[in-house]
Chain A
Amino acid sequence: MNKIMRGFLVFLRRNPALVGIIGVTIALSIITDSFLSVYNIINVFRQTSIMAIMGFGMTMVIISGGIDLSVGSVLALSAGVSASVLSGGYAFLGILVALVVGAAAGAFNGFMITKGKLQPFIVTLATMAIARSLTLGYMQGMPISRFPDSFTFIGRGTVAGIPMPIIILLSIFILSFYILKKTRLGLYIYSIGGNEEATKLSGINVDKYKIYVYVISGVFAAVSGMILAGRLNSAQPTFGTGYELDAIATVVLGGASLKGGKGTVYGTLFGALLLGIIKNGMNLMGVSPFYQDAVKGAIILIAVLMERKE
């Protein structure tokens, strides 16, 4: 029993975001009477799904020692391109198109970073601009709306009372966890982030695995785009603006190091949930919209300050 408790305390210390979740949950339950209800908890998870899924891709990128600033724009591009297919009534094809666009954008990032020997920050910054511009051009600045019900089910449907975005969130979470813990790719991601030279010298095709990581990030951004388009029954050319920073924040809140080699997907899930709960709580409490970002920034600082240096 003592051992379990101690294990739990160690886990808490390594996951300041979880401590934050517990603290903020207790505070909000006392302050508001609408926070602690099944509906609102489901509400928070549903709102968090998009950021968390992007965060899982970003986690792998950051563990590998990189960064992906293009995720918000890639989300918009994949949603925009697939929206034109979707509005024609082809749900399955539309989803496929979105995933292909996401993967292609990721492959482009990975290729430029590895074969072009460029900094991930610069490459993905460029992709962020290019993808946003292509989205605006492709959609001619106009939103595309009204998709088949079989598609909007992704964003609005429920299975056994659980909203689809949450089911997708958990599926992607398990997939990401499996990739990082149980596959060779996962092992190499940590190893590349820890020491890229050593990994290369031990005969591993580092370039190949780095490209995979950016492809995964692009595909996860596309999945988020599908959920977003499904929830709103509309794709907007401005989708995902600024999401890359929130995605990075969730990863860092989750205890990952921007230097690479360190991080977990469950940490990222905690980070995303913490940000989601804070946003939800501020709306429930009626915090002035002008100061909401200040609160968000303060919480990020608190969580990072609480994290002990190892």
Chain B
Amino acid sequence: MRKLLVVLMIVGLLSVGFAGKIGLSVSTLNNPFFVELKNGAEQKAAELGAEISVVDARDNPAKQLNDIQDLIQKGVDILIINPTDSDAIVTAIEDANNAGIPVITVDRGANGGEVLVHIASDNVAGGVMAAEFLAEKISFKGKVVELVGIPGTSAARDRGKGFETKLEDYPDIELVAKQSANFNRAEGLRVMENILQAHPDIDAVFAQNDGMALGAVEALRAAGKLDQVVVVGFDAIDDAVKAVEDGEMAGTIAQQPALMGSLAVEKAFNYLETGSVYIPVDLKVVK
């Protein structure tokens, strides 16, 4: 019986497939935003007839370095990297540079190494946009809560910076609480529940991603406050767009992750074909 089990499992393992050419290292696939980015990239690759291998760093810079070294060993022709951290990614990019493999970064940038082109959304501008939208919704007056993403990530820093800076332009709006829920829906629910205990009379919530916003929606619904509180998210994932349509959320800042992934593959493909990138400057995808 033991032997049969072993054989069955080995056969199962050998039946998994493999591919090559373009290497895509994603920061995490535990977040629909990056899953959409990956899907956009894969769709474009299929359209162009390019092979693509995807690796998932699980928000772990050490795993990402290992993944990228593996892709280099595998002999990919070009790397598309969505860094988990702008500093920690530098070693990996230098390794790729040394191996003569061109690098394109997506979403988060890198603070060093040679990068062909960076395809990003402007998170600071997105934060400003969220503040403007939210302020208008509550008639420029009231108490606001901010749910912060994973501390230390550039998305959390930049979105927070844009939002908080813009909020200072509205003297009658007060930021009464600012807590981290790690870009996570379950934590968004828990943190919002706790905040509601301390501040039952809030007017609006800005969550730095849609996952946390949707968690907050559940907390507000349970507290019977969903009608009175304006919720603004970030990323425009499918669930959030639906929540906006249903009137549960006021709005979400659209970032078009699928487009970012698709553009990255297009640029990679063009570079491999022609040896040049025709947009030499940073491309902003903000909506």
Contacts and interface: CB of A to CB of B under 8 A. Distances in A.
A241 B57 CA distance: 13
A151 to B, nearest CB: 13
Interface size class of A (residues with CB under 8 A): 35 or more
A283 B9 contact: no
B138 interface: no
A295 B87 contact: no
Contact of B17 (A46, A286, A292): A286
Given A142-B151, A286-B53, A236 B19 contact: no
B152 A141 contact: yes
Contacts of A289: 26, 29, 54-56
Contacts of A47: 66, 69
A306 B56 CA distance: 30
Contact of B9 (A156, A291, A298): A298
A54 B218 CA distance: 40
Contact of A234 (B5, B29, B85): B85
A143 B70 contact: no
Interface of B: 2, 5-6, 9-10, 12-14, 16-20, 26, 29, 53-56, 59-62, 65-67, 69-71, 73-75, 85, 87-88, 90-91, 111, 150-152, 180
Contacts of A46: 69
B16 A285 contact: yes
Interface of A: 23, 27, 31-32, 34, 37, 39-40, 43, 46-47, 50, 136, 139-143, 145-146, 156, 228, 231-234, 236-239, 241, 279-280, 282-292, 295, 298-299, 301-302, 305-306
B151 A279 contact: no
Contacts of A232: 61-62, 65, 87-88, 91
A302 B6 contact: yes
Contacts of B152: 139, 141-143, 236-238
Contacts of A43: 69-70, 73
A305 B59 CA distance: 32
A65 B246 CA distance: 56
A136 B151 CA distance: 9
A301 B2 CA distance: 11
Contact of A302 (B10, B29, B90, B91): B10
A23 B14 CA distance: 12
Contacts of A145: 87-88, 111
Contact of B85 (A139, A236, A287): A236
A305 B6 CA distance: 7
A292 B67 CA distance: 12
B88 A283 contact: no
Given A34-B73, A34-B74, A241-B60, A285 B18 contact: yes
Contact of A291 (B16, B62, B70): B16
A305 B2 contact: yes
A284 B29 CA distance: 19
A285 B58 CA distance: 19
20 contacts: A139-B152, A142-B152, A145-B88, A145-B111, A233-B87, A233-B90, A234-B87, A236-B88, A237-B152, A280-B70, A282-B16, A283-B66, A283-B67, A283-B70, A286-B17, A287-B16, A287-B17, A289-B56, A301-B9, A302-B5
